[in-house]
A and B are shown apart, each in its own frame.
Chain A
Amino acid sequence: MSPAAVAVLAAAVRAGTPVLFATLGEIFAERSGVLNLGVEGMMLVGALAGFVTTVRTGHPWLGLLAAAAAGAALSLVHAVLSISLRANQIASGLALTIFGTGLSASLGRSYIGVPAAGFQPFPLPGLGDIPILGPMLFRQDALVYLSYALVAAAWYALYRTRWGLELRAVGERPEAADAMGVDVARVRYGCVAIGGVLAGVGGAYLSTAYTSMWIENMTAGRGWIAVALVIFATWDPLRAVLGAYLFGGVNALQLYLQASGTGLPVYLLLMAPYVFTMVVLVIATRGTVRRRLGTPAALSLSYSRDGG
């Protein structure tokens, strides 16, 4: 494989990582039955919080914590509205995205053009020397490695723990879970908060690792792409990896084509990730409709014991 191809693959992993974080988080929220369309807003606020904290303290890890906290705080607004107040989940999520977009752009204006010392890539001993896979997967920054661990942890939590069982039951048939003594609201709050934390972390990846700068609206729809990839992933963390890296691949490829000067107009190349996501969504929808599988049955439906 040519060095250029390996470089594109490594870039695909990096480009896919922020989306991967957000997708994993949204999988938890949706698995518990809460649709959160505020991912874009939470990512933006997370990106800003992570960036500002990194600039101010010099510690990207503190930035990461701040981003996670910011994402969680925003997600709890959605949780209160959609779980406790049983508001329309689509509307509440859209409000969150509009708010997050506005808040991050308002507060972040003075940080435009400020440099930050973010996460730097380093090879993992031994693994980094494997041909092709080494440079692709194991000469990345710490957050990419963190995302590998998170995928495994998410899978384990969902499928191998009591809590995962409860949250899947809550998203499928809350009344059955309730009848067995599971606290539906508590499980949902927890999952929405996880969604917020991971969206925040995904945002921070963009501003402290992928680019190390703050730009208004720098997520450029990645939050929405994450929501689409959740469907593509059929709510499964392992398939989310595939979706995120495919997206990353398309992104990396169009960047490579831009850089290598093929003459294709830049702005048409930039459309590729969005068009790709729509195609993927169509394929995934056909699959889920045909097999009637995947979609948590109680997704976006509020639950109360008296059925109101």
Chain B
Amino acid sequence: MCVGRRAPSRLAAAAAPIVSVLGALAAGAIVLAASGVNPLAAYGALVSEPFGSAFGWSETLVKAAPLVLTGLAVLLPARMRLWNIGAEGQLQCGAIAAAGVAVFTAAGRSPLAVPSILAAGMAAGAVWCLVPAVLRAVLAVNETITTLLMNYVALLLVDFLIYGPWQDPQGRGFPLSPVLPAPSRLPVLVPGTRIHLGVALALLAVPAVAAILTRTRWGFEIRVIGDNPDAARYAGMDLRRNIILVMAAAGALAGLAGAGEVSAVSGRLQQGLSPGYGYTGIIVAWLARLHPAATVLVAVLLGGLFLGGDALQISLHLPIAIVYMLQGLIFFFVLGGEQLARYGVCFRKRPAAAAEHRA
């Protein structure tokens, strides 16, 4: 089998993502059926829970908010051909810093508590991301692996804190930090739901990132470097500086997600703050084809999938991991679908004429 160059068909390009997702669900159904689960029942729950009611929609938005932010945290460096696989760790660090400021400083009880903890979360995420960024910019160390390894360190840092110095003295030995004081909790914006300030901030981050990319000199540099680094160098742009700035911004976005989760959703630093929002952010960015606005749509879909996964756990006693399996399948099918739409497939040997056009 080989793929040949073909004029991309507009219809194929438009249909590819939809067909890909349906293909992924079909493949997922096979796995579900093989493990003794009725796929229709499972998919029914997956759809009806997040999208079947107004409350479902609100909960989906709560899950989508961190995905928008981690999606942007992957998207922004990817625009410069950098892979930030570390949004998960940056999110955890944002949560740590937000919780730390809220619980252990006076700022956490002041009227300025909310901006303080959000700023702390963003700063911590940025700092966490700066380590791989500087290594990449100065020493050319592969940022894919380092951002990922930093995730494990961040998760262990959370464990260290909640089993150690930050453990709640009233927590009966559970690995939990003290509850964040009320002034540090992000306000709920829509009564009767859990839609909080962080959701609004995530939705504001989308046009902000889009504006950076299209309406600032910095964004101009990012787009040029991402499209053609040689042209960027030719035009006198500083590649190293941009690597560091972009990665720091990405870390700040993921850190904001972490601050939002700890302050509005869990209310304390604990394990399982994120069901893998950082990793899913990679899929969000890829499915959005690196367009900021599209992250909202993809994040709502994948946020719904997380919510549906919670429902499956309760109603069908299925593990939440099914969600990751489906996410992986969707990623596979979208990748393959994109390529098929781009190139088309031929199942025979290349004709001699095709080989002539090189050199």
A-side interface residues toward B, CB under 8 Å?
37, 41, 77, 80-81, 84-88, 90-92, 94-107, 109, 185, 216, 220-221, 224-225, 227-228, 231, 265-268, 270-271, 274-275, 277-278, 281-282, 285-286, 289, 304-308
Contact check: which of A91, A106, A107, A271 meets B335 at CB < 8 Å? A91
Chain B residues lying within 8 Å of A286, measured Cβ to Cβ, are 139
Q: Are B329 and A271 in contact (CB under 8 A)?
A: no
Cα A190 to Cα B152 with chains together (Å): 32
Q: Does chain A have a CB within 8 A of B163? A: yes
- Asked if residues A84 and B1 are in contact (CB atoms below 8 Å), the reply is yes
| A255 CB to nearest B CB, Å | 14
Partner of B328 from the list A98, A221, A271, A281 (CB cut-off 8 Å) is: A98
In the complex, A307→B335 CA distance in Å? Answer: 20
CB 8 Å contact bits of B344-359 with A (1 = contact, 0 = none)? 0000001000110110
Once bound together, how far apart are the Cα atoms of A289 and B136, in whole Å? Answer: 12
A225 to B152, CA, bound (A): 11
Contact call B332/A95, Cβ cutoff below 8 A: yes
B282 interfacial contact with A, CB 8 Å: yes
CB distance from B290 to the nearest CB of A (A): 12
Considering the chains assembled together, what is the distance between the CA atoms of A289 and B149 in angstroms?
21
Given A91-B331, A270-B156: A86 and B357 within 8 A (CB)? no
Bound-state CA distance A94–B318 (Å) is 24
Asked, given contacts A99-B329, A306-B354, whether A81 binds B336 with beta carbons under 8 Å apart, the answer is: yes
Q: Complex: how many Å from CA A44 to CA B270?
A: 25
* Complex CA distance for A305 and B146, rounded to whole angstroms: 34
By a CB distance below 8 angstroms, the chain A residues around B358 are 305-307
Chain A positions within 8 Å of B323 at CB level:
102
**Given A85-B336, A267-B164, A305-B355: A281 and B2 interface contact (C-beta under 8 Å):** no
Q: Could you tell me if A105 and B324 are in contact, using CB atoms closer than 8 angstroms? A: yes
Cα distance A216–B319 in the bound complex, in angstroms: 11
Contact of B336 with A87 in the complex, beta carbons under 8 Å: yes
The answer on a CB contact under 8 Å between B149 and A221 is yes
Contact flags B120-153 to A (C-beta < 8 A → 1, else 0): 0000000000000001000111101110111111
Q: Chain B nearest CB: distance from A203 CB in Å? A: 16
Q: Which of chain A's residues have a CB closer than 8 A to the CB of B163?
A: 266-267
A179 CB → nearest B CB, Å: 11
Residues in chain A near residue B340, CB distance under 8 A: 85
Q: What's the least CB distance linking B323 to chain A, in Å? A: 7
Tell me if A228 and B145 are in contact (CB < 8 A).
Answer: yes
B159 part of interface (Cβ distance < 8 Å) = yes
The answer to whether B5 has its CB under 8 Å from any CB of chain A is yes
Chain B min CB distance to A217 (Å): 9
Contact of A265 among B2, B35, B160 (CB under 8 A): B160
Q: Which residue of the partner chain, among A94, A103, A216, A289, contacts B31 with CB atoms under 8 Å?
A: A103
Contact B325 A102 (CB under 8 A): yes
Q: In whole angstroms, how far apart are the Cα atoms of A185 and B251 in the complex?
A: 38
Which of B5, B146, B327 is close to A98, meaning CB atoms less than 8 Å apart? B327
What are 30 pairs between A and B in contact, CB < 8 Å? A84-B1, A85-B3, A86-B3, A87-B336, A91-B331, A94-B331, A95-B283, A96-B328, A98-B282, A98-B283, A98-B327, A99-B328, A101-B324, A105-B319, A105-B324, A106-B35, A106-B324, A107-B35, A109-B319, A221-B152, A224-B148, A265-B164, A266-B163, A267-B159, A278-B150, A281-B141, A285-B139, A304-B3, A305-B355, A306-B358
Q: Are B322 and A281 in contact (CB under 8 A)?
A: no
Q: Give the chain B neighbours of A185 by CB distance below 8 A.
A: 2
Distance (Å) between the CB of A85 and the closest chain B CB?
4
CA–CA, A179 to B144, complex, Å?
33
Q: How many angstroms between the C-alpha atoms of A87 and B331 in the bound complex?
A: 11
Closest B residue to A306 by CB, please name it: B358
Contact of A94 among B85, B139, B150 (CB under 8 A): B85
B345 to chain A, nearest CB (A): 8
- Give chain B nearest CB distance to A219 CB in angstroms: 11
Contact check: which of B160, B319, B339, B350 meets A268 at CB < 8 Å?
B160
CB distance from A244 to the nearest CB of B (A): 16
A307 to B338, CA, bound (A): 19
Bound complex: CA A277 to CA B149 (Å):
8
Considering only CB atoms, which chain A residue lies closest to B340 in the complex?
A: A85
B149's contact among A94, A228, A270, by CB below 8 Å, is which?
Answer: A228
The residue in chain A whose Cβ has the minimal distance to the Cβ of B318 is A106
**In the complex, A157 Cα to B331 Cα: how many Å?**
34
A267 and B319 form a contact (CB under 8 A): no
Given A98-B327, A98-B328, A106-B322, answer yes or no on A92-B156 (Cβ-Cβ < 8 Å): no
Is there contact, CB below 8 Å, between A95 and B331?
Answer: yes
Contacts beyond the supplied A94-B85, A98-B324: 13 A-B pairs with Cβ under 8 Å: A41-B328, A77-B332, A81-B339, A85-B3, A87-B335, A99-B328, A102-B323, A106-B319, A231-B145, A271-B152, A281-B142, A282-B141, A305-B350
With both chains docked as a complex, state the minimum distance between the C-beta of B59 and any C-beta of chain A, in angstroms.
21
Q: Give the residue name and chain of the A residue nearest to B165 (CB).
A: A265
Q: Any chain A CB within 8 A of the CB of B286? A: yes
**Chain A residues in 8 Å Cβ range of B327:** 98-99, 102
Report the Cα distance A297→B156, complex, angstroms: 36
Q: Of all chain A residues, which has the CB nearest B357?
A: A306
A113 CB, min distance to chain B CBs, angstroms = 15
